[in-house]
Amino acid sequence: MFDFSINEMLDMQKSLQDKYKGKWEKLSPEAGKHKLLWMIGEIGEVIDIVKKHGDIEASNDVELRKDLVEEMADVLMYYNDVMLCYGISADELKQAYTAKFEKNMTRW
């Protein structure tokens, strides 16, 4: 089975950033908040699909599902841009995610 890793996504985003250097805002901590705002906009597009068409149709209709997944990819692209802006590595994210998971497993 093929897994799509955070490192692969980060590398792809770095390639996009390199390709559009000078056209896109430079990655930096200051740009992080802008990327977060763009990501929220993309999340809104995901929500719009589900809101307009319903959970079941968005999940089962081939064309709607394609749109839903594409918008989710946009969310992840901005998410990875945010990680790059703040210099967050995949290993650092894994450590924080694992710690939060373990905390949540003992919460209730």
- Mean pLDDT of the region 78-84: 97
Can you give the CATH number for the domain in which 68 is found? 1.10.287
Asked whether residue 105 is assigned to any structural domain, the reply reads no
**Residue 51 is assigned to a structural domain of this protein:** yes
**pLDDT tens track for 32-62:** 999 999 999 999 999 999 999 999 999 999 9
Identify the band that residue 108 occupies on the pLDDT scale cut at 50, 70 and 90: confident
Task: Tell me the pLDDT tens digit for each residue of 84-107.
Answer: 999 999 999 999 999 999 999 999
pTM of full prediction above 0.75: yes
**32 located within any domain:** yes
Whether residue 18 is contained in a domain is answered as no
Residue 75's alpha-carbon distances to 33, 42, 44, 52, in angstroms, are 14, 6, 10, 19
Examine residue 78 and state whether it is found in any structural domain, yes or no.
Answer: yes
Q: Does any domain span residue 63?
A: yes
Instruction: Provide the residue range defining the domain that includes 59.
Output: 26-100
Q: Is residue 106 part of a domain?
A: no
Q: What is the number of structural domains in the chain?
A: 1
pLDDT of 2 higher than 80: no
Q: Is the pLDDT of residue 21 over 60?
A: yes
Q: What is the DSSP string of 66-104?
A: HHHHHHHHHHHHHHHHHHHHTT--HHHHHHHHHHHHHHH
| pLDDT the model gives residue 1 | 56
15 within domain boundaries = no
